[in-house]
């Protein structure tokens, strides 16, 4: 399965309430709409995008990766992009990936990020042949940390001064879930 990974197109994924469609350059305007909101970047450590060209560069960098497993999150029946989710880092030989996600702040507290992340994790273990999926969040980002925890990930530790945000060092919490843990979790549900 992993040998063919680079040749697989990114599939459309579905959940009860969401459609995860492969990211495309035409999504720049929708991503810019929610990513310009000030609350979106509070304690996230994610780059601030101020123009469509910034978003287009972000998308181009994702699309040139092989594999490029990254999606836009669409509300089923509404056909509007409310976020993005996928593997921002993918280490084929180590069979691990790091999941990233973002949801428009007006859609927070509805479980959309958890639902999208859960489906991407399922894809990672069932279809992409991963053994480990990890996620990071800044120590001050309790909203993102809840999504990670609800996805079944275990806390591994704090990476001190791991990234810089607005020219200041930021501590990051590292979480992960292994395929065997995910399988056991699915059996228990």
CATH number of the domain where residue 71 is located: 3.40.630.30
What pLDDT score does 46 carry? 58
pLDDT confidence of residue 185: 92
3-class SS at 72? Answer: strand
Predicted TM-score of the model (pTM): 0.91
Give the per-residue pLDDT at 6.
44
| Alpha carbons 139 and 145: distance in angstroms, whole number | 8
**Domain interval for residue 167:** 2-188
Total structural domains within the chain = 1
Nearest Cα to 71, choosing from 15, 111, 125? 15
pLDDT of residue 115: 98
Q: State both tokens at 82.
A: 């409310």
For the chain, give percent helix, strand, coil, nearest 5: 35, 35, 30
Question: Would you state the pLDDT for residue 45?
Answer: 53
Per-residue model confidence as pLDDT tens for the chain (189 residues): 444 444 468 999 999 999 999 999 999 999 988 888 767 665 455 566 778 888 899 899 988 887 889 999 999 999 899 999 999 999 888 999 999 999 999 999 999 999 999 999 999 999 999 999 999 999 988 989 999 999 999 999 999 999 887 788 989 999 999 999 999 999 987
Confidence at residue 136, expressed as pLDDT on a 0 to 100 scale: 94
From residue 25, how far is each of 22, 61, 69, 71 by CA, in Å? 10, 11, 14, 11
Cα separations (Å) of 111 from 41, 54, 97, 144, 147?
A: 19, 28, 22, 11, 8
């Amino acid at each position: 399965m992993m040998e063919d990974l680079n040749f697989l197109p990114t599939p459309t994924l579905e959940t009860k309430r969401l459609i995860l469609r492969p990211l495309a350059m035409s999504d720049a305007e929708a991503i810019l709409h929610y990513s310009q909101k000030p609350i979106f970047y509070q304690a996230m450590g994610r780059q601030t995008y101020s123009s469509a060209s910034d978003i287009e560069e972000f998308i181009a960098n994702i699309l040139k990766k092989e594999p490029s497993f990254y999606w836009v999150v669409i509300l089923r029946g509404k056909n509007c992009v409310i976020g993005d989710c996928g593997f921002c880092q993918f280490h084929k030989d180590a069979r691990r990936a790091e999941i990233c996600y973002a949801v428009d702040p007006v859609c927070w507290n509805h479980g959309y990020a958890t639902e999208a992340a859960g489906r991407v994790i399922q894809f990672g273990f069932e279809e992409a042949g991963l053994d480990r999926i990890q996620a990071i969040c800044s120590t001050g980002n309790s909203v993102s940390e809840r999504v990670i925890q609800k996805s079944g990930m275990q806390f591994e530790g704090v990476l001190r001064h791991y990234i810089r945000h607005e020219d200041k060092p930021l501590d990051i919490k590292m979480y992960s879930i292994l395929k065997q843990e995910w399988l056991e979790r699915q059996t228990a549900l």
